[in-house]
A and B are shown apart, each in its own frame.
Chain A
Amino acid sequence: MENPKIKVQNLNLFIGKQQILKNVNVEIPEKKITIIIGPSGCGKTTLLKSLNRLTDIYEDINVQGNIFINNEDILNTKTDITILRKKMGLLSQRPYPLPMNIYDNIAYGLRISGRKQKKYLDKRVEHYLKQANLWDEVKDRLKSPASALSIGQQQRLCLARGLAVDPEIILADEPTSALDPISSQYIEEKFVQLKEHYTIIMVTHILRQARRIADYVVFMYLGEIIEQGTAEEFFNNPQQEKTKAYLKGLFN
């Protein structure tokens, strides 16, 4: 691959004595949607979380190997972790709005980077809420608590919040699993639009979702990468037996 955005090399990850990721090597293309797919418990969420070093905050996790983002090895760097994380927006399985109002949820990331002028914030908040297709629904109640929104709206709020820190990469961990079909569709459509500007990495276990939006697919099984490639190759011409079996629906 030419100029991959992210390059994972020989990544091994242990929780206690259990090995969760086994010698993972992955390259992720820029400004495309990469889907990490596999049965539950295969380590896909863990892989996603190692990309912005959220693995740091868990007990007993030991990570070895290299993860290059823009050619900087984030596992062995002196760069402040908070700056690295700002390059990546995270959308998790369930939305976790910050305990503040809708406006402040979006403005939070800007404020902690030192942008505090009200006019600027107003503009940005509106911009990102529009990006997430949420503006029309909340423009009259920006000051009400984010927890009062529906789950689908909360997830879009979290997307807007993530975009507001101006990331280059969006990490999404089964972002539609808690949502109703309409909200799910919103998120999928949004991702397709967003890939023009962002590198998107999404974890899912829903094959059809992967077929709908993936440009590039990484298939994991029991902590190992079984196969990776463009969506076309992956779905139409899988190389590995396990991949074929998975595509036929033989795994869960």
Chain B
Amino acid sequence: MKLRKVEEHVFLFLMRLSALLIGFALLAIIWSIFSKGLGSLNWQMISEVPKGGYYFGKEGGILNAIIGSLYLSLGATVLALVIGLPIALFINIHLSKRRRLVNVVRLILDILWGVPSIVYGAFGFTVMIFFGVKTSLMAGIIVITALILPIMIRSLDEVFKEVPMGLKEASYSLGSTKSETAYKVYVRQCVPGLVTAVLLSLGRGIGDAASVLFTSGYTDNIPTALDQPAATLPLAIFFQLGSPIPEVQNRAYAAAAVLTIIILVISILARIVGNKYQKNKIKA
């Protein structure tokens, strides 16, 4: 009898320790990134491109990477939405009677979600070589789109799944077609969920390094056209951290701080919208 109690207490202690460890890990990550990166972060850092080459030049900042990352991730997110939204609607409206098929499609999407980004990157690179395409903003956008598409579709899908059948019936009873039901009713009903899905995809897109490593190249300049290479924050960190020059390393740490801040902001925004959505759902 006593032993049982002791066992429970030991495990409860271990459970608390585990949860604490996770919290501590996040603090440790944020602390080490910010304590190293915030010091190097100043106006010059975020308003200038590197001078004298990103790997050796001691002057300049990381504007090339910030802009490059924004171009890439925004472009890919928009593209993924344009492709993903119709698919998510298709699954929930046109295929709603064929649950078996829908389950298979969901399985495929879940599996695609699990494909490592380096596989997308490597595949994208061979396709580019095959067609003689150089590393560019466009190539990067396409590969990131492929990477975030499963995330986009499945998150949208989860949101559309929650739309009550009665609303669908109401829409059809008024004589709506399927696509009117999709875009005028479903999409409007799910705006907050849609925003969350977009933010989630954006966060994944902006932070991924392995896929753009092969496809978007790297440059000190800000790209002005889709066929030019583009720098990105993850690669700005990865490449510049490898430099032996402390000033260049500082640029990497600053880039890490900027990327972390962007991710935190996206995370918080998603949480706020998500909470609001929860409230609406209970009300509806």
Contacts and interface: CB of A to CB of B under 8 A. Distances in A.
Interface of A: 49, 52, 54, 57-60, 82-83, 85-86, 88-90, 92-94, 96, 98-100, 108-109, 112-113, 147, 158, 161-162, 165, 171
Interface in B78-105: 96-99
Contacts of A49: 169
A162 B174 contact: yes
B106 to A, nearest CB: 16
B171 A98 contact: yes
Interface in B158-187: 164, 166-177, 180, 184-185
Contact of A85 (B99, B174, B184, B280): B174
A109 B175 contact: yes
Contact of B96 (A59, A86, A162): A59
A86 B169 contact: no
B185 A98 contact: yes
A98 B169 CA distance: 11
Name which of A59, A92, A93, A96 has the most chain B CB atoms within 10 A of its CB.
Answer: A96
B175 to A, nearest CB: 4
B284 A86 contact: no
Interface of B: 96-99, 164, 166-177, 180, 184-185, 188-189, 191, 280, 283-284
29 contacts: A49-B169, A52-B172, A57-B172, A59-B96, A59-B97, A59-B98, A82-B172, A83-B175, A85-B172, A85-B173, A89-B173, A90-B169, A90-B170, A94-B166, A96-B166, A96-B167, A96-B170, A98-B170, A98-B171, A98-B188, A99-B189, A109-B175, A112-B174, A112-B176, A112-B184, A158-B170, A161-B174, A162-B174, A171-B173
Contacts of A171: 173
Nearest to A87: B175
Given A96-B164, A96-B167, A54 B172 contact: yes
Name which of B98, B174, B184, B283 has the most chain A CB atoms within 10 A of its CB.
Answer: B174
B229 to A, nearest CB: 43
B99 A86 contact: no
Nearest to A84: B175
Nearest to B191: A99
Contact of B169 (A96, A100, A108, A113): A96
Tell me what chain A mostly uses at the interface: helix, strand, loop, or mixed.
mixed
Tell me what chain B mostly uses at the interface: helix, strand, loop, or mixed.
helix
Nearest to B100: A59
Given A82-B175, A83-B175, A165-B175, A57 B168 contact: yes
Contacts of A85: 172-175
A82 B173 contact: no
B175 A86 contact: yes
Nearest to B280: A147
B16 to A, nearest CB: 42
A112 B169 CA distance: 16
A142 B271 CA distance: 31
A82 to B, nearest CB: 4
B174 A108 contact: yes
A136 to B, nearest CB: 24
Contacts of A96: 164, 166-167, 169-170
A115 B225 CA distance: 43
A195 to B, nearest CB: 19
A96 B167 CA distance: 5
A88 B169 CA distance: 12
Contacts of B284: 147
Contact of A82 (B99, B176, B188): B176
Q: Lowest 10 CB-CB distances: which A-B pairs, in order?
A: A90-B173, A86-B175, A99-B189, A99-B188, A96-B170, A96-B166, A109-B174, A82-B175, A96-B167, A59-B97
